[in-house]
């Protein structure tokens, strides 16, 4: 059925208003087509970068070869590059031909002390030192894909320098998984060292590959998308004795077991779970050397996840109280360190920025899902505390694998379908271009 002329004119007017002006909408469509074509043309190259990085992983604050590999590529694009930021991080600056705002794009660089089991030709066989121990090393969280994606985005946008209305700052960040004991690092140190200054960043975008999300799907939400995290160390000091005469000991192992049980009641009995999720997990316990000796000391390491400062402080207090009072009841001395080494705020997606950029994500992905909060944590949160930020999840699960069968992150079988990386390249590139155009001077 034909529409009246005034109806058609009204539709055009509404379209123009939604993009501020018609030329912006037309330019966006043209740029999107160009970026998609460019991402397809460099896809194989990006996958090769990813495989090189995957085969040569390095732990937090030790990403020396990784940084050199990325630096070589960035300099080949003619970008202004600053190295050794927060130990091994890099910043690259792309100044567009036209004046405008500054947008930052971030990728993390570090791998994990995990032994790889994936049946791929480029599986890691690397070993390194971690907390005084020799360990296998693997990119078991997808940071290799993040780096390769951002390297691809840098290449695509560099070729469009004359079209850019503003500046793009590429941030390659070490130590997202946490710095070694006694060291600073990660996003927190990068912010301290001025990564968001000179030039001052107006907005920042980041992504994370998801092994449990279908390729072609993007997950995002406004406000808290990832939990704040504190790690905890609990030291139980007792009295050593022979295993055959436990009454002569103050048993730190039994005390530690009671403490662990007590900590599990914090979330179930003290937190308002209908409003905000929370997690208290003990992930490591170390004490004793043989079966017939009760040791004098046990150490435990754990993690706490919360979505508000109020809950964060409350759980810290509950952990201290329960651990020390249980210890007292067992005649043991208990020391609680929280946070012990890692403490990240909630990863908060700016409401206005996220809503404004949601159409960009929808133009890229096969499907954009508004997801629920995730109790994982990300130090992207330190950037988003300083400037408006948006963080989203990029599907990396093969379509023929069920979510239940997909290996979790941080495990030996972690696997990514590389065909999903193209959507990440297109999303970050288009987010940068659209943000610059929306705020062009």
Q: Which candidate, 434, 406, 386, places its Cα nearest to that of 195?
A: 386
Reported as type and span, the H/E element at residue 220 is strand 217-220
Kindly give the pairing relationship between strand 241-242 and strand 293-294: antiparallel
Q: Give the phi and the psi of residue 299 in degrees, each rounded to 5.
A: -120, 140
Structure tokens at 274: 């209908």
Nearest to 345 by CA among 312, 394, 322: 312
Q: How far is the C-alpha of 364 from the C-alpha of 357, rounded, in Å?
A: 11
CA–CA distances in Å: residue 367 to residues 168, 205, 216, 223, 372: 27, 19, 7, 20, 16
Q: Which pair of structure tokens corresponds to residue 133?
A: 């121990």
- C-alpha to C-alpha distance for 195 and 189, rounded to whole angstroms: 9
Contact partners, residue 322, CB within 8 Å, separation at least 6: 259, 262, 263, 265, 266
Give the pair of three-digit tokens for residue 302.
């754990």
Structure tokens, 5:
């002329």
Q: Which of 344, 348, 383, 435 is catalytic?
A: 344
Would you state the structure tokens that stand for residue 239, as one six-digit string?
Answer: 């009295």
> Could you give the CA distance from residue 346 to residue 361 in angstroms, rounded to a whole number?
22
At 7 the three-state DSSP class reads: helix
Q: Active-site residue 418, yes or no?
A: yes
Largest CA distance in the chain: 95
Question: Smallest Cα–Cα separation from 145: which of 346, 422, 403?
Answer: 422
Q: What are the backbone dihedrals phi and psi of residue 61, each rounded to the nearest 5 degrees, phi first?
A: 65, 10
Which one of the listed residues 58, 177, 418, 426 is annotated catalytic?
Answer: 418
263-272 long-range contacts (CB < 8 A, ≥24 apart) are 263/302, 263/319, 263/322, 263/323, 265/322, 266/315, 266/318, 266/319, 266/322, 270/314, 270/315, 270/318, 271/311, 271/314, 271/315
Is 344 in the active site? Answer: yes
**160 three-class SS:** coil
CB 394 within 8 A of CB 207: yes
Is-contact 20 407, C-beta < 8 A?
A: no
Catalytically annotated residues = 344, 418
């Amino acid at each position: 059925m034909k529409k009246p002329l005034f109806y058609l004119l009204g539709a055009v007017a509404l379209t123009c208003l939604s993009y501020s002006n018609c030329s912006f909408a037309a330019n966006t469509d043209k740029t999107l087509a160009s970026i998609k074509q460019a991402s397809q043309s460099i896809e194989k190259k990006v996958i090769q970068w990813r495989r090189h990085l995957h085969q040569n992983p390095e732990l937090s604050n030790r990403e020396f070869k990784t940084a050199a590999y990325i630096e070589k590529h960035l300099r080949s694009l003619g970008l202004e590059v600053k190295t050794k930021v927060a130990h091994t991080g890099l910043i690259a600056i792309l100044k567009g031909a036209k004046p405008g705002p500054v947008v930052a794009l971030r990728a993390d660089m570090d791998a994990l002390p995990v032994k790889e089991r994936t049946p791929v030709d480029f599986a890691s066989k690397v070993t390194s030192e971690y907390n005084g121990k020799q360990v296998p090393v693997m990119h078991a969280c997808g940071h290799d894909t993040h780096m390769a994606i951002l390297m691809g985005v840098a290449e695509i946008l560099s070729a469009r320098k004359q079209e850019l209305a503003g500046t793009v700052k590429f941030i390659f960040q070490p130590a997202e998984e946490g710095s070694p004991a006694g060291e600073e690092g990660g996003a927190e140190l990068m912010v301290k060292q001025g990564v968001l200054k000179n030039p001052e960043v107006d907005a920042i975008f980041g992504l994370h590959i998801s092994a449990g999300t279908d390729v072609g799907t993007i997950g995002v939400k406004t406000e808290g998308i990832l939990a704040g995290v504190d790690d905890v160390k609990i030291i139980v000091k007792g009295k050593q004795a022979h295993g055959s005469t436990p009454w002569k000991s103050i048993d730190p192992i039994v005390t530690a077991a009671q403490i662990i049980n007590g900590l599990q009641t914090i979330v179930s009995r003290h937190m308002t779970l209908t409003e905000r999720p929370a997690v208290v997990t003990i992930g490591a316990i170390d004490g004793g050397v043989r079966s017939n000796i009760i040791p004098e000391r046990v150490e435990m390491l754990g993690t706490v996840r919360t979505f508000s400062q109020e809950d964060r402080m409350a759980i810290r207090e509950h952990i201290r109280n329960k651990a020390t009072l249980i210890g007292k009841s067992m005649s043991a001395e208990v020391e609680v360190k929280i946070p012990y080494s890692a403490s990240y705020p909630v990863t908060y997606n700016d409401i206005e920025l996220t809503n404004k950029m949601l159409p960009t994500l929808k133009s890229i992905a096969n499907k954009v899902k508004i997801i629920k909060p995730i109790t994982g944590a990300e130090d992207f949160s330190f950037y988003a505390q300083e400037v408006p930020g948006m963080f989203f999840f990029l599907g990396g699960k093969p379509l023929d694998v069920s979510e239940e069968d997909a290996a979790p992150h941080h495990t030996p079988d972690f696997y990514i379908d590389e065909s999903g990386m193209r959507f990440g390249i297109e999303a970050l590139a288009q987010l940068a271009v659209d943000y610059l155009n929306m705020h062009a001077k």
